[in-house]
Amino acid sequence: MVAESEFSLIEQYFSSLTAEREDVTLGIGDDCALLQCPQGKELAVSIDTLVEGVHFFADVDPHALGFKALAVNLSDLAAMGAAPAWFTLALTLPENNPAWLEGFSSGLATAAKASSIQLVGGDTTRGPLTISIQVHGLVDAGQAVRRDGAKPGDRIYVSGTLGDAGAALKHRLEAWSPDVLNDADWAALQQRLEYPTPRNALAEPLRHFANAAIDISDGLLADLSHILKRSDVGARLQTHDLPLSSSMKKLPKELARELALSSGDDYELCFTVPPKLADELEQQCSDITCIGEITAQSGLILVGASGQETTANIRKGYDHFSA
Ligand SMILES: [Mg+2]
C-alpha cells in the first residue's frame, strides 16, 4: 500500500540518494524544505509531468525512467543558463513495488549526482503511474537566457546530434527497421531516447554568449519556432549542416534530415549567438554546430545542399504516442 506512509517511501528510497548541498537548511522531513537563495541570484523554476502511456511506455526500465524524469527537467535549467540546485518529486503509484522503486530511485540518483542537485521534498499518492518533478536552479540576476532575445544576424547553434531519439521512437512505434542499422546502432539510438544527456555544462557559455536559447524536446523546428515567435524574428537553416550521429548518417539523407528537423526527445540545446562572439564560443565549446542564422524577415526557411530554399512547415514534433 502506498498509503502506508508517503513519508517513509520518499525517505526510504530517495533521501540519501541525491547530492547533499550546503545551501539546504532543512531537506526532506518537515512541512517545508528551507533553502538558501544567495544574494544576487534569481531562482529558475520548472516542472514537468510524465504519465505512463503518454510520455513513456508501460514496460520502460524504471532506472531509465528515473534518469530521464530528472534529466528532462535539468535540460530546462540548462536552456535558461541556470545551475541546478534543488528538486521536489511527486509520485503517483499504482502499487508499492519495491523492485520498481529501487530501479527508479537509482536512475534518478544517477542523474541527480551528476549535476549536484538535491531532492528536498516529495509526495506520494496512489493512482495511475505519474511522475512530477519540479527543479530549482540558480542564475545570476538578470543573466538568464530567455527565448525572446534572438537578434537578426545571430548564428543558430545546436549541441550534440539530432534525430537519434526520434529514430529509436520510430523503431518502437512503427516497427521500422531499415537494413542499414545494426544492433549496435539500435542500442546507441535507444540509449539516446532513454538516457538523454542534459547539457548543463553549456549553461555557463550560454549565459556568456547566447542571446536566446531553448532545449529541444519537441523537435528542432517546433522548438526553434518558439524562439522565433518570442523574439519576433525569422531564421534560415542550412539543413545539410544538421549534426547527425554515425548511426543516423547511415540512413537515407532525406529521412535523417526529416528526423533531425522534426522528431523530439533529443534534449539538445538550440541557441543563438551574435556573430562577433561566434569564434570565441567555438573555441570554448566542442560538440556544438552552427546550423543557420536569425533573420529580420519572419518565417523559417530551409536551405538545402544545393541552395534550394523551402519554407518550413512548422508542426509539433513527434507527439509521443500520437496514435
Ligand atoms: Mg524546455
Q: Could you tell me the residue ranges of all domains in the chain?
A: 2-140, 147-311
Counted residue by residue, the chain has a size of 323
Cα 246 to ligand 1 centre (Å): 26
Which residue type is seen at 298? S
Which residue type is seen at 26? L
d(Cα 188, Cα 163) in Å, to the nearest integer? Answer: 12
d(Cα 301, Cα 298) in Å, to the nearest integer? Answer: 9
Each residue's pLDDT tens digit, 195-207: 999 999 999 999 9
pLDDT at 18: 75
Element (H, E) at 230: helix 220-231
Radius of gyration over alpha carbons of the chain, in Å? 20
Q: Is 311 left (phi over 0), alpha (psi -120 to 50) or beta?
A: beta
Cα 74 to ligand 1 centre (Å): 9
Mean pLDDT of 284-298: 97
Is the Cα torsion angle 191, 174, 248, 316 positive or negative in sign? negative
Cα 97 to ligand 1 centre (Å): 31
* Percent of the chain whose pLDDT exceeds 70: 94
Cα separation of the two ends of the chain? 33
d(Cα 240, Cα 303) in Å, to the nearest integer? Answer: 8
Provide φ and ψ at 72, rounded to 5°: -70, -30
Cα 201 to ligand 1 centre (Å): 16
d(Cα 307, Cα 145) in Å, to the nearest integer? Answer: 32
Q: Does domain 2-140 correspond to CATH entry 1.10.10.10?
A: no
Task: Beginning with the edge strand found earlier in the chain, give each strand of the sheet holding 309-311 in spatial order.
Answer: 212-215, 269-273, 155-159, 288-295, 234-238, 300-303, 309-311
Cα 215 to ligand 1 centre (Å): 5
Helix spans in 11-97 (H)? 62-80
d(Cα 155, Cα 277) in Å, to the nearest integer? Answer: 9
List the grid coordinates of 132. 512530477
d(Cα 17, Cα 189) in Å, to the nearest integer? Answer: 28
Cα 121 to ligand 1 centre (Å): 23
d(Cα 4, Cα 56) in Å, to the nearest integer? Answer: 27
pLDDT at 133: 97
Cα 244 to ligand 1 centre (Å): 21
pLDDT at 323: 34
d(Cα 5, Cα 24) in Å, to the nearest integer? Answer: 24
Q: What is the pTM of this model?
A: 0.93
List the grid coordinates of 309. 530554399
Q: In sequence order, what are the residues at sequence separation of 6 or more whose Cβ sits closer than 8 angstroms to the Cβ of residue 224?
A: 156, 214, 235, 237, 270, 300
Helix 164-174 vs helix 183-194: angle between axes, to the nearest 10 degrees? Answer: 110
CATH number of 147-311: 3.90.650.10
Cα 146 to ligand 1 centre (Å): 11
User: Is 309 in contact with 252 (CB distance < 8 Å)?
Assistant: no
Average pLDDT, the chain: 92
Cα 36 to ligand 1 centre (Å): 25
Report the 10 Å Cβ neighbour count for 180: 10
Cα 48 to ligand 1 centre (Å): 9
Closest CA to 54 of 126, 123, 130, 105: 130
pLDDT at 315: 56
Each residue's pLDDT tens digit, 173-195: 998 999 999 999 999 999 999 99
Going by the DSSP 8-state scheme, the letter that residue 148 receives in this structure is: G
Closest CA to 302 of 257, 271, 245: 257
Each residue's pLDDT tens digit, 35-92: 999 999 999 999 999 999 988 988 999 999 999 999 999 999 999 999 999 999 999 9
Cα 292 to ligand 1 centre (Å): 21
Provide φ and ψ at 23, rounded to 5°: -85, 10
Cα 183 to ligand 1 centre (Å): 31
